[in-house]
Amino acid sequence: MFGKLKNKWKVSGGRLALILLSFALGGSLCGYTGRKLLSLTGVEKGVLWVVLYIIFIIILWPIAVIAVSLLTGQFRFFGDYLRRMGRRMAGKGPEKHINIAIFASGAGSNAEKIITTLPSFFAREKVRPNIVVVITDNPSAGVVSIAKHNHIAAEIIHLKNKTPHEVSFAYLSLLKKYHVDFIVLAGYLKMIPADVIKAFPRKIVNIHPALLPAYGGTGMYGSRVHEAVLAAGEKKSGISIHEVDEVYDNGKIVFQASCDIDQGETVASLAQKIHVLEHRHYSEVIAGILHRI
């Protein structure tokens, strides 16, 4: 039974336990509150009491489970669950859920923008993006706090002193645990193993802070990219969103946007322009890809 629920809801065993706990506590809270409200009406137990109790339960149950889910950290699941129930009651049919993992190594501004804006591109669609986990190689990365604040699981992947096989196994185990369908790299600095790329063909995207194929490759990330662009005297820079393959910054380019480089431009000022482009376009481009898979 529990195995079927894990597969149906695409959650880990630990998260399933919290979801079932939320259901149980929410039901108890709902029943208790319903009886308390009925006691205030003065209605004697009988047919009318039962009818009113059922009405109270129908009204109170969504409120109760959402309240409990805030305490158990399962608010996102129950928000989606109630939305699906509403769609069924309205005769709109089930939604297709796409489970997404975000990989990030730093502060997580791109990850936060994706978490907060990606759902808006699916407001009237049957497709529902579900960001189920944030994975990082850096325990002190700011993205960990962002994930927890948004009630998303955060996993630290430990890669030091591991063989290539062990590294691949570590990634694939986490992705299987959360039933991931699609991977978004948002400032992730580690090479994705070939086994992971094979397991997710054309389902891993990255954003690079330059106009590829220039200024990409090993060691080209963050301020290093902007320093190289300015040192070369370029007049423009920008962002490139691309599929991920076995070579750094080499996959098929999906989207590019550019910005002018002004006279006297600094690494910091150029980085700010690039951040604006990243935040403006990444979620929308991801949404376009998800609509096609």
Q: What is the pLDDT of residue 13?
A: 79
Domain co-membership, 126 together with 194: yes
Structural domain total, the chain: 2
- The CATH number for 218's domain is 3.40.50.170
Domain co-membership, 25 together with 154: no
Under 8 Å between Cβ of 205 and 244? yes
List, as one string, the DSSP characters of 200-255: STT-EEEEESS-TTTT-STT--THHHHHHHHHTT-SEEEEEEEE--SSTT-SPEEE
CA distance 76 to 61: 16
Q: pLDDT for 212-230, tens place per residue?
A: 999 999 999 999 999 999 9
DSSP 278: H
Segments forming the whole domain that contains residue 22: 2-89
Starting at the earlier edge strand, list the strands of the sheet with 96-103. Answer: 153-156, 127-136, 96-103, 182-185, 204-208, 236-243, 253-260
Q: What is the pLDDT of residue 245?
A: 95
The pTM of this model reads 0.74
Domain co-membership, 266 together with 200: yes
Whats the size of the chain, residue-wise?
Answer: 293
Q: What is the pLDDT of residue 74?
A: 87
Tokens of 279: 């935040």
Domain co-membership, 152 together with 276: yes
Q: What is the pLDDT of residue 3?
A: 72
Which residues 6+ apart lie within 8 Å of 227 measured at CB?
Answer: 267
Q: Which residues of the chain have pLDDT under 70?
A: 1, 7-8, 10, 87-95, 124-125
Tokens of 141: 């990365």
Q: What is the pLDDT of residue 268?
A: 97
Q: Domain ends where: 21, 55, 89?
A: 89
Domain co-membership, 119 together with 216: yes
Domain co-membership, 28 together with 78: yes
Domain co-membership, 179 together with 251: yes
Q: Domain ends where: 54, 89, 124?
A: 89
Domain co-membership, 227 together with 265: yes
Domain co-membership, 117 together with 192: yes
Residues noted as catalytic: 208
Domain co-membership, 192 together with 208: yes
Domain co-membership, 66 together with 151: no
Q: What is the pLDDT of residue 261?
A: 97
Q: Domain ends where: 41, 61, 89?
A: 89
Domain co-membership, 18 together with 140: no
Q: What is the pLDDT of residue 87?
A: 65
